[in-house]
Each structure stands twice: as C-alpha cells, then as structure tokens.
Amino acid sequence: MLFGRRQRSIEKLLVVEDEPLVAFDTEYLLSDNGFTVVATVDRVADAVRLIEGGVAIDLILVDVNLADGSGIDVARAAATRGMPVLFVTGACPVEAETVAIGCLTKPYTQRDLLGSIGAIEMQVEGKPPPRVPGGLRLFGAGPAATGLT
C-alpha cells in the first residue's frame, strides 16, 4: 500500500500492572490503537509464567511496585528471553538500565504511552527516534533489553 500504515515491529504486548483502573485503561488504549494485548496480569508470578511459557511478546509494560514483588524480577525474566521491557512507574529504579529498554514516569498521558512505544520500536529497529515523549527515558540498551539477540 502506497499510503498505508507501515508494518509495526511491536504488535504484541504484555501489561503487568496491579492498579485495576490503570490496567484497564492501558489495555483499552492499546487495543483501540491496533496492538494485541496478549495478557494483562497483576502478579510477578503470572508474568514470569507467560514469559517462560514461550508466549510471543514484542514488548512488556511493567510497573515496578507490584503486590507480590518487584517488576525488576519480571524484567530479568524477560531479558533472558530477549524481550524488551518498558517500566511504567512513579520512580524508575537504578537497576532499570541493566534490564529494560526504557522507563516512562507515571502519571503519563495516553499520547506519551503511545509515543514511547513508537520510540522504542524505532530503537529496536536500530533507528534513532525522531521524538522522545516527556517522561520517557530510553537507555543505551544491549541485546537483551532491546530484543535484538
């Protein structure tokens, strides 16, 4: 298609969020914008089970502070599978740079979340993002964090 949308390299997302309203809004926003939400979970154990179970995931959106543990544990499991992680949290942890591709500070707008996914998509494809949304920190990530192995 000459003027159609370009093919996305990030289509399937896992949402790990223990605040029900935030989880619902995020899932709705992503689905409404053509992404596939493979699952929305609120526990570290459930997220790790999906990651280790071989479910196809292009990007994981994870809060750091979860009811049953830390999103850092989710990111570590994802890194072993070469899945990129975007932390969506009020305070980006120091070790985030070692296990994630970026960190988006809460509260964020819908536009900033979608823009962050677009910027990460550009980075994963090896291209510099033309614009980085407010509240997003992209890390100079290695292969595990970018999904490029």
Are 37 and 59 in contact, with CB atoms under 8 Å apart?
no
Residue 6: exposure state from Cβ atoms within 10 A (0-12, 13-18, ≥19): exposed
- Can you name the residues that pair with 41 across neighbouring β-strands? 16
Q: What is the mean predicted confidence (pLDDT) over 2-16?
A: 81
pLDDT score, position 56: 95
Q: Could you tell me what percent of the chain has a pLDDT over 70?
A: 89
> What is the distance between the alpha carbons of residues 89 and 54, in angstroms, rounded to a whole number?
26
pLDDT score, position 5: 59
DSSP characters over 34-82: T-EEEEEE--HHHHHHHHHTT---SEEEE-SEETTEEHHHHHHHHHHTT
More confident residue, 133 or 3: 133
The answer to whether residue 149 scores a pLDDT higher than 50 is: no
Query: How many other C-beta atoms can be found within 10 angstroms of the C-beta atom of residue 66?
Result: 23
Question: Which of 101-105, 110-114, 131-135 is the least confident region?
Answer: 131-135
Domain ranges in the chain are 13-146
- pLDDT classification of 3: cutoffs 50, 70, 90: low
**Domain 13-146 carries which CATH code?**
3.40.50.2300
- pLDDT classification of 131: cutoffs 50, 70, 90: confident
